[in-house]
């Protein structure tokens, strides 16, 4: 069998750390400041209740209505 299987992981690069995009850690970093940055980033991308409702309705509508909505939005 060539290469690692689907469930075989390359443990050479796994140091037990979770890598988060946009956040870099060093030994001298302030953990609380880093957590504040992470919380701000999550808040920035989290959908509002109105956005969730719009997405729910968009997903439930017909393909024709979706095309009409996209046309109205300029796409």
User: Residue 68: its pLDDT value, please?
Assistant: 95
71 falls within a domain = yes
Residue 69 lies in a domain: yes
- Is residue 53 included in any domain, yes or no? yes
The whole-model pTM stands at 0.46
**What domain range is 65 assigned to?**
49-75
Tokens of 37: 């940055």
pLDDT by residue, tens only, the chain of 75 residues: 555 555 555 555 556 666 666 556 555 567 888 888 888 888 888 889 999 999 999 999 999 999 999 999 997
pLDDT for 38 equals 87
Question: Does residue 72 belong to any structural domain of this protein?
Answer: yes
Q: What is the pLDDT of residue 45?
A: 86
- If one counts the domains in the chain, the total is 1
Q: What is the pLDDT of residue 34?
A: 84
Residue whose structure tokens are 């030994």: 27
């Amino acid at each position: 069998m060539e290469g690692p299987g689907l469930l075989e992981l390359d443990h050479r690069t796994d140091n037990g750390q979770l890598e988060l995009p946009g956040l870099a850690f060093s030994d001298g970093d302030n953990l609380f400041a880093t957590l504040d940055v992470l919380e701000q980033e999550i808040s920035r991308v989290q959908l509002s209740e109105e956005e969730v409702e719009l997405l729910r309705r968009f997903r439930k509508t017909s393909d024709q209505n979706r095309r009409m909505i996209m046309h109205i939005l300029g796409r």
